[in-house]
């Protein structure tokens, strides 16, 4: 017998969203393990914990240097990542070399950690065609069309399944991207075909300047995965260990042929949406930013690792110094690259140029461009 009163309790359904999506947390703000079972399930060795922290620090250094380069007019488009290191780097850490990443424009650090040269990232930002060359890195260039990377991930994942590969495709978008049609279509397609895909919604609270409650009434963006019939969870995106655990388990589910997973990461960007003139204090308060700084993913990991005797100020200083040197070299490489000609851009875009495009290429070359 059905309970019509319960079924038709629309208000109750809205209230129950909070109980349906508890947040996965393993490491709290004070650097203490609050879910021992979760920590053990993550199964990170001491070496892996140090490597994870190293990559998170490197991501922070990359953000700081890229911000300065952008202010100097030496980069093109750049979306800061400070505050999202656990959401991005720790999740990325759970995937294997054979997996494919479909990034958004804020996901440059993940690509670099997978082997994309830093100077190529700078060239991509500057609009140089060599910035779209990935070599052996299994990934695609950062997607500018918001949400389109979900469609790419669904297609790549289906291809991996058809080829019988022991691999998954994974994609990142933001809370703004979750309101795009492409995100739904990508998840729906992957779900219908049980494609091995892992989708991330990095919920940093703002679609550029639009607060989450203004762009969607969904209390939890993870709920959007239920609409297409896939497992969906919400994770503390400032907790590196929780992020790693969630991504690890999602990858295992997907690679076993059970279909895709959606992971909402509750995170925050401490800076602007991009360096294209965005002032975050026009749409959020300094008090709000300060509160999120208290949840800094690097601080809690630093405390935890220091307590384990795995990290120190000296070690972090060495990581920062070493990575700054690598960025210095990358800047030189990017600055010394040959000037891009229009003919290069056309030729690198089309594998088989049409007759008209060939004419255009030849004309530009004759004009020295």
Query: What pLDDT sits at residue 41?
Result: 96
Q: Give a yes or no: residue 206 inside a domain.
A: yes
Task: Report in angstroms the alpha-carbon separations of 313 from 12, 51, 303, 319.
Answer: 50, 15, 11, 10
* Same domain as 261, residue 211: yes
> For residue 217, with 0-12 CB atoms within 10 Å meaning exposed, 13-18 middle and 19 or more buried, which class applies?
exposed
Q: Are residues 363 and 275 part of one domain?
A: no
Amino acid 248: pLDDT: 98
Residues 61 and 205 grouped into a single domain: yes
Rounded Cα distance, 33 and 28, in Å: 7
Is 5 part of any domain? no
The answer to whether position 28 is within a domain reads yes
Residue 234 domain flag = yes
pLDDT at residue 68, rounded to an integer: 96
Question: Which of 212, 273, 300, 302 is the catalytic position?
Answer: 273
- Which pLDDT does position 276 carry in this prediction? 86
Host domain of residue 362: 339-369
Q: Which of 65, 138, 269, 302 is catalytic?
A: 269
- Does 128 qualify as catalytic in the annotation? no
Domain shared by 187 and 281, yes or no:
yes
Q: Do residues 354 and 246 both lie within one domain?
A: no
147 in Cβ contact with 182 (< 8 Å): yes
Q: Which two tokens stand for residue 301?
A: 């990991």
Q: Count of domains in the chain? A: 2
One domain for residues 225 and 115: yes
Q: Which residues pair with 171 in a beta bridge?
A: 102, 199
Low-confidence stretches of the chain (pLDDT beneath 50): none
Distance between CA atoms of residues 345 and 7, nearest Å = 57
Same domain, 79 and 156: yes
In a domain, residue 4? The reply is no
Residue 2 counted as domain residue: no
Tokens of 240: 């590196």
- Classify residue 205 as left (phi > 0), alpha (psi -120 to 50) or beta: left
For residues 131 and 127, give the distance between their C-alpha atoms in angstroms, rounded to a whole number: 7
Count of CB atoms situated within 10 Å of the CB of 7? 10
**Is 181 a member of any domain?**
yes
Report how far residue 270's alpha carbon sits from residue 46's, in angstroms, rounded to the nearest whole number. Answer: 29
247 and 98 within one domain: yes
DSSP state of 88: I
Q: Which CATH number does the domain housing residue 284 bear? A: 3.40.50.970
Q: What is the pLDDT of residues 67-91, one digit of tens each?
A: 999 999 999 999 999 999 999 999 9
Give the C-alpha separation, 250 to 260, whole Å.
8
Residues 355 and 323 in one domain: no
Q: Tell me, yes or no, whether 361 and 305 share the same domain.
A: no
- Has 39 been annotated as catalytic? no
| pLDDT the model gives residue 18 | 67
Separation CA 206–CA 119 (nearest Å) = 29
Active site residue 269: yes
pTM of the full structure: 0.94
Query: Residue 221: its pLDDT value, please?
Result: 94
Given this model, what pLDDT does residue 8 score? 67
Regarding whether 210 and 186 lie in a shared domain, the answer is yes
**What's the confidence (pLDDT) of residue 32?**
97
Is the same domain home to 261 and 201?
Answer: yes
Q: Whose structure tokens read 């749409």?
A: 283
């Amino acid at each position: 017998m059905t309970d019509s009163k319960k079924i038709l309790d629309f208000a109750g359904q809205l209230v129950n969203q909070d109980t349906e999506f508890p947040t996965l947390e393993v490491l709290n703000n004070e650097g203490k393990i609050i879910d021992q079972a979760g920590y053990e399930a993550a199964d990170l060795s001491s070496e892996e914990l140090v490597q994870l922290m190293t990559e998170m620090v490197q991501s922070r250094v990359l953000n700081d240097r890229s911000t300065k380069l952008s202010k100097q007019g030496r980069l093109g488009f750049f979306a800061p990542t400070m505050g999202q290191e656990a959401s991005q780097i720790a999740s990325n850490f759970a995937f294997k070399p054979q997996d494919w990443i479909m990034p958004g424009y804020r996901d440059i650090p993940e690509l670099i950690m997978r082997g994309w040269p830093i100077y190529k990232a700078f060239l991509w930002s500057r609009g140089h065609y060599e910035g779209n060359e990935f070599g052996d890195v299994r990934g695609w260039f950062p997607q500018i069309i918001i949400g389109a990377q979900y469609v790419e991930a669904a297609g790549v994942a289906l291809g991996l399944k058809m080829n019988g590969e022991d691999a998954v495709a994974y994609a990142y978008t933001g809370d703004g991207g979750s309101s795009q049609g492409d995100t739904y279509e990508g998840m729906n397609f992957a779900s219908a075909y049980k494609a091995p895909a892992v989708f991330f919604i990095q919920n940093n609270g703002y679609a550029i300047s639009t607060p989450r409650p203004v762009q969607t009434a969904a209390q939890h963006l993870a709920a959007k995965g239920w609409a297409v019939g896939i497992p969906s969870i919400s994770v503390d995106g400032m907790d590196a260990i929780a992020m790693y655990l969630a991504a690890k388990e999602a990858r295992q589910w997907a690679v076993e042929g059970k279909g895709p997973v959606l992971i909402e990461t509750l995170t925050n960007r401490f800076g602007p949406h991009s360096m294209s003139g965005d002032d975050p204090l026009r749409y959020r308060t300094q008090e709000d930013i300060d509160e999120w700084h208290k949840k800094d993913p690097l601080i809690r990991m630093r405390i935890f690792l220091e307590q384990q005797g795995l990290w120190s100020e000296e070690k972090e200083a060495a990581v920062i110094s070493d990575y700054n040197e690598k960025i210095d070299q990358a800047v030189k490489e990017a600055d010394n690259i040959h000037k891009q000609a229009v003919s290069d851009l056309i030729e690198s875009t089309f594998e088989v140029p049409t007759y008209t495009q060939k004419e255009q290429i030849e004309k530009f070359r004759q004009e020295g461009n």
